Amino acid sequence: MKRLLWLGVGLAVGAVVVHKLTRKAHSYTPGGIAESLSESAGGFVASLRSFVDDVREGMAEREQEIHQAFADGVLYEDEFAELRDDERIGDRNIFPEEGRR
pLDDT at residue 65, rounded to an integer: 87
Alpha-carbon span 74 to 59, nearest angstrom: 20
pTM value?
0.47
Answer whether 27's CB lies under 8 Å from 36's CB.
yes
Q: Taking all residues of the chain, what is their mean pLDDT, rounded to a whole number?
A: 83
| Residue range 7-35: mean pLDDT, rounded | 93
Alpha-carbon span 63 to 57, nearest angstrom: 10
Question: CA distances (Å), 8 to each of 3, 13, 19, 20, 21, in order?
Answer: 9, 9, 16, 18, 20
Q: What is the pLDDT of residues 81-101, one digit of tens each?
A: 777 765 554 444 444 555 544
Alpha-carbon span 23 to 17, nearest angstrom: 10
Q: What is the pLDDT of residues 37-79, one digit of tens each?
A: 888 888 899 999 999 999 999 999 989 988 888 888 877 677 7
